């Protein structure tokens, strides 16, 4: 190791030590770990209101006229100098005799600039319409409004831009909105706050989650899958908290696609100004005719796939200041011979930790959840990809899927490891399926192994543990050592990077006052102790 490397390492150690000593706020750090596993007892007095907002709620109503834009959202591109603006024009149709709108009938234009009344720049984009079709008598088909995606380029970092979207020739333009670009990438350059939320849905709990989230004034929102739960409904709009329980005889898993439009309208006050990055969850599968899946998800959101070298909406990457985010697909092939794995390896090789020191990975189903719900469901994905993420020293992993909160100690291959990532499950956004409560390590709660594989992806990789305290068993008989903190409650999280080696993670419960923390920890990188293996560079 050369003198320069030693100097860089010394500076990193000093930065972390200095910040934590000077801050002195009593918040624990991962350097204090591994922590003794903690389970916060279930608060039986709080259940929230996991009931979907009705279509009559004013926040879900269409308030524009003709081809004026609605459901407006901002998405980041791969780097700070570019964003996507997306919106919908025209009305959806649902029924037996639907006629798709012509995307070419309305232009996709965004007028923008640094001053509200001087929108001196203009960009054009593309538009599309998607259908959700069912080849069964009695089921209602759906065709969307015209969905527009426009990419703005040449933007300055950390700068507020005002914009107006639509078609100026009709005219059918939106009100003037604004967004702020990401800071430029660098070891001391970070967004102030990043909100992380999963399994959001569109319930009264969702409204509480979003209210709490907005009070934290984030610069970016990461949604780790399961968006609006349109697939909890029949095509006639009848919903249930458990689709398979209520509608077990349907010939195909139906959806009620207008829930997507309702969700876009509800979220617009937030997503029209704060960029939102989404990765697919199992509720976005949405089977339809000709074995098509994920059509609404892939159509409604813009993704920096092409900009990050990906050919898929299921996996992509982007920078947010000195953080490199990797969004992975758990519902598309991930084995070493498949394109997603090859893309991931290429993407990781390109990461310069001197520019983006933090490496954060996100996908929907967790690898390290100790709840009975979805226990070890994504084991095949873990077996395929964990070594690669570990070798490149991923710092933090965010997941959803399990409707509760859990934070791990640093872990790799089910063992405590100071160089493993911290895995955080935030599938507690508020959806109508309600909360996950039993833990797999509680008496009588360990699931039968054959029931655990993900039904969509198939495969079986979850076997009994061969070593450690749970050797010979499928589940631990106590809270596993790798599980640091778990609690069943609705909420969201906030990630704040303090410098290139220290990040503050805060989880907020919905039932608490807005400024209270349910769980809080400083996550400290140790690049001197956990370097990226030179053999994989």
Number of H helices, E strands in the chain: 7, 27
Q: Cα(327)–Cα(342) distance, rounded to whole angstroms?
A: 14
504 strand-pairing partners: 496, 522
The answer to whether 354 touches 187, Cβ cutoff 8 Å, is yes
Radius of gyration of the chain (CA): 23
- Strand, helix or coil for residue 351: coil
Closest CA to 348 of 381, 309, 400, 378: 309
* HSE toward the beta carbon, residue 17, CA cutoff 13 A: 6
Burial class (CB in 10 A: 0-12, 13-18, 19+), 45: exposed
Q: Cα(243)–Cα(255) distance, rounded to whole angstroms?
A: 10
Tokens encoding 238: 């009848």
The answer to whether 507 touches 520, Cβ cutoff 8 Å, is yes
User: Residue 264: how many CB atoms within 10 A of its CB?
Assistant: 24
Q: How far is the first Cα of the chain from the last one, in angstroms, to the nearest whole number? A: 16
Angle separating helix axes 339-350 and 379-391, nearest 10 degrees:
20
Strand 131-132: give its sheet, edge to edge: 93-95, 141-143, 131-132
52: which residues sit within 8 A by CB, 6+ positions away? 201, 202, 203, 229, 232, 239, 259, 432
148 strand-pairing partners: 87, 127
> CA 320: distance to chain centroid?
14
Q: Cα(254)–Cα(199) distance, rounded to whole angstroms?
A: 19
Q: Cα(407)–Cα(352) distance, rounded to whole angstroms?
A: 27
User: Residue 107: how many CB atoms within 10 A of its CB?
Assistant: 18
CA distances from 110 to 65, 145, 446 (A): 18, 18, 53
Q: Residue 298: which H helix or E strand, with range?
A: helix 295-300
Catalytic site residue from 148, 283, 364, 374:
374
- Strand, helix or coil for residue 74: strand
- Strand, helix or coil for residue 203: strand
Tokens encoding 507: 């989880």
Q: Where are the alpha helices (DSSP H) in 110-187?
A: none
Q: Catalytic site residue 374?
A: yes
Catalytic residues: 374
């Amino acid at each position: 190791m050369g003198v320069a490397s030693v100097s860089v390492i010394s500076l990193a150690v000093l930065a972390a030590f200095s910040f934590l000593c000077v801050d002195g706020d009593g918040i624990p750090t991962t350097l204090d770990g591994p922590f003794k596993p903690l389970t916060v007892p279930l608060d039986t007095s709080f259940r929230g209101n996991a009931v979907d907002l009705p279509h009559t709620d004013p926040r879900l109503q269409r308030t524009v006229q003709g081809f004026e834009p609605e459901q407006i959202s901002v998405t980041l591109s791969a780097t700070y100098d570019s964003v996507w603006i997306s919106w919908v024009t025209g009305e959806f149709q649902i029924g037996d005799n639907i006629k798709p709108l012509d995307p070419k009938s309305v232009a996709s234009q965004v007028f923008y600039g640094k001053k509200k009344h001087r929108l001196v720049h203009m960009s054009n984009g593309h538009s599309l319409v998607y259908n959700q079709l069912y080849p069964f008598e009695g089921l209602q088909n759906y065709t969307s409004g015209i969905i527009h995606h426009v990419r703005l380029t040449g933007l300055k970092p950390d700068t507020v831009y005002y914009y107006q979207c639509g078609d100026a020739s009709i005219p059918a333009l939106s009100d003037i909105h604004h967004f702020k670009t990401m800071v430029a990438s660098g070891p001391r350059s970070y967004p102030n706050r990043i909100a992380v939320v999963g399994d959001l849905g569109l319930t009264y709990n969702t409204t509480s989650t979003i209210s709490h989230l907005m009070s934290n004034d984030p610069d970016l929102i990461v949604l780790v899958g399961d968006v609006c739960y349109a697939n909890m409904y029949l095509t006639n709009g009848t919903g249930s908290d458990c689709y398979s329980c209520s509608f077990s005889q349907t010939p195909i898993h139906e959806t009620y696609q207008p829930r997507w439009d309702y969700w876009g309208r509800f979220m617009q006050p937030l997503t029209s100004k704060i960029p939102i990055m989404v990765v697919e969850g199992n509720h976005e599968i949405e089977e339809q005719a000709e074995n098509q899946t994920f059509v609404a998800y892939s159509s409604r959101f813009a993704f920096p796939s092409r900009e990050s070298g990906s050919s898929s909406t299921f996996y992509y990457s982007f920078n947010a200041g000195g953080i490199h985010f990797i969004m992975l697909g758990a519902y598309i092939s991930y084995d070493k011979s498949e394109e997603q794995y090859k893309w991931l390896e290429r993407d990781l090789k390109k990461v310069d930790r001197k520019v983006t020191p933090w490496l954060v990975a996100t996908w929907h189903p967790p690898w390290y959840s100790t709840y009975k719900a979805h226990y070890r469901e994504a084991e095949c994905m873990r077996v395929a990809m964990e070594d690669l993420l570990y070798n490149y020293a991923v710092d933090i992993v965010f997941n959803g899927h399990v409707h509760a909160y859990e934070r791990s100690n640093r872990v790799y291959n089910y063992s405590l490891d100071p160089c493993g990532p911290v895995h955080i499950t935030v599938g507690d956004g508020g959806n109508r399926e309600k909360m996950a409560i039993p833990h797999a390590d509680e008496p009588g709660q360990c699931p039968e192994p054959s029931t655990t594989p993900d039904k969509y992806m198939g495969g079986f990789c979850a076997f009994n543990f061969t070593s450690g305290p749970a050797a010979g068993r499928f589940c631990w008989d106590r809270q596993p050592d790798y599980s640091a903190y778990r609690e069943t409650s609705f909420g969201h999280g906030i990630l704040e990077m303090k410098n290139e080696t220290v990040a503050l993670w805060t989880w907020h419960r919905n039932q608490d006052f807005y400024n209270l923390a349910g769980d809080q920890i400083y996550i400290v990188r140790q690049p001197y102790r956990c370097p990226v293996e030179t053999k994989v560079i």
